[in-house]
Amino acid sequence: MRIISGKYKGRAFQPPKNLPVRPTTDFAKTGLFNLLSNRIDFQACCCLDLFAGTGSISLELASRGCNSVTSIDRDAGCIQFIKNTTERLEEKNILAIKSDVFKYLSSCKNKFDIIFADPPFEAVYREDLHEFVFNNGLLKENGMLVIEHTSSESWEHLPHFDFSRSYGNVAFSFFSKFDLDTDA
């Protein structure tokens, strides 16, 4: 796992092999952050990383200057790896929480500029994430939800869909708080 840009650019970390993760590839992560860099000011962002796994996305967000990143994963090993990595970096802007994502979303009172979700590709509840985020009002005014999924899937049918980009076998679908089709 490597941090692509920002204050920790080039830093590499080796997660334990026994973690139940499917890390986002550097190729896909580079594409994702190129898109985000053209749309947001990272230094003004409060971010939520769901199904955080190794914390690759959380670390990339913090490296680029996000003032607050909350990482959620139900696996204790993943959360411990994120905590250990942030301690080694002396990074104070990442909060790693061991929790079921849906339990966390149900009780969360915060609003976020960016919510990134990388649920297991085989999970049947993946579209429920979208509903939870929008129904619980978890995005700020110009907030964005990004869901990672296989490139063979289309998420265009969901409300608030903006666009999707594919990078090999991985794709990211972007959703905004307000449906762009109705803003005209």
Six-digit token string for 151 = 């490139």
| 60: Cβ contacts below 8 Å, ≥ 6 apart | 3, 4, 5, 6, 29, 33
Q: How many CB atoms sit inside 10 A of residue 96's CB? A: 22
Alpha-carbon distance 158 to 140, whole Å? 19
Q: How far is 145 from 176, CA to CA, in rounded Å?
A: 6
Distance CA 184, CA 149 (A): 29
Cα(178)–Cα(88) distance, integer angstroms:
39
Q: Which domains does the chain have, with CATH numbers?
A: 44-153+161-182 (3.40.50.150)
Q: What is the pTM of this model?
A: 0.92
Q: Which tens digits make up the pLDDT trace of 69-81?
A: 999 999 999 999 9
Residue range 31-90, pLDDT digits in tens: 999 999 988 899 999 999 999 999 999 999 999 999 999 999 999 999 999 999 999 999
